[in-house]
Amino acid sequence: MTTTIVLDGKVAIVTGSGNGIGRATAKALAQAGAKVCVSDTIAADGQRTVSEITDAGGSAIFVEADISNEDQVKAVVAATISAFGGLDILINNAGIGGAQKRLHEVEAAEFSRVLDVNLLGTFFMTKHAIPHFLKAGGGSIVSIASSYGLIGAPKAPAYCATKGGIINLTRQLAVDYGPDNIRVNAICPGYIDTSLGRRGPTLTEAQFNEATARREKAARMQPLGRQAQPIEVGNVAVFLSSPNASFMTGSIVSVDGGCVTTFNYGEASN
């Protein structure tokens, strides 16, 4: 029985890996022995992830890309194949939160941008990775959805819709590609301590602190009573990518501190 995750010789792409869950996942994959293509829209952040991997003795490259652009997606895959000679693992992590508004207040362009990055980007990355998995005789895809793809959430119509779409796309892909030994799973994080959840650099310091306090209060209403650190999601992504999860496909794995298991009474217990 395999008890240790070993990914020696495997090649992975992790989108949105300049920060947060993607960065933690890329580093954890490299620690397990995988060669990693780090991709992000912010070059400085992506290069930092690569440096941290290589400084620790791992192997990584960086490719700047916006996954809503199919040509840039093709370039990410091509660079990975050129650098490492194959592809075994795809982590669809890149995503954006979108405007915090009720649906009738959302402009079409705002909704479309979230759709383009979160759902169309996942489609593009998966579409161009799968031929390499077919050639190799198998592979693993892990998409980062959200607990907001399972439940409704205030003022997040585009985000909820796209993350729900990723969840059912995961199930559909598992049906089509299971016979090809391509496993497809999704993770639904809850409150994770990342800049995306707090709208990061778009906020003033006061707004950032206020948003952080709101998330921490909401997280205290969960059974585990806190936000997670990105590596707590990254570790699950690495497991799902590995032979340890060899009989898992079409699985939607909640990593949310119990968020979707209980009714929110509207006040924190502590």
Of residues 197 and 165, the one with the higher pLDDT is: 165
pTM greater than 0.75? yes
156 falls in which pLDDT band (50, 70, 90)? very high
pLDDT at 269: 45
> Is residue 159 annotated as a catalytic residue, yes or no?
yes
**What is the pLDDT confidence band of residue 203, given thresholds at 50, 70 and 90?**
low
In this prediction, residues 39-61 reach a mean pLDDT of 98
Span 2-35, pLDDT tens digits: 568 999 999 999 999 999 999 999 999 999 999 9
Quick one: average pLDDT of 29-54? 98
The residue extents of the domains of the chain are 11-190+229-252, 196-227
Matching residue, tokens 């982590």: 91
Residue 214 has pLDDT above 90, yes or no: no
**Over 50: is that where the pLDDT of 199 sits?**
no
Lowest mean pLDDT among 57-71, 124-138, 198-212: 198-212
The mean of the pLDDT values for the chain is 92
Q: Which has more confidence, 203 or 63? A: 63
pLDDT above 90 for 171: yes
Res 209: pLDDT: 81
Residue 196's pLDDT is 54
CATH number of the domain located at residue range(s) 11-190+229-252 in this protein: 3.40.50.720
| Catalytically annotated residue among 148, 159, 177, 191 | 159
Chain centroid, CA 28 distance in Å: 13
pLDDT at 202: 59
The per-residue pLDDT for range 79-95, each reduced to its tens digit, is: 999 999 999 999 999 99
pLDDT over 50 (residue 185): yes
pLDDT score of 198: 45
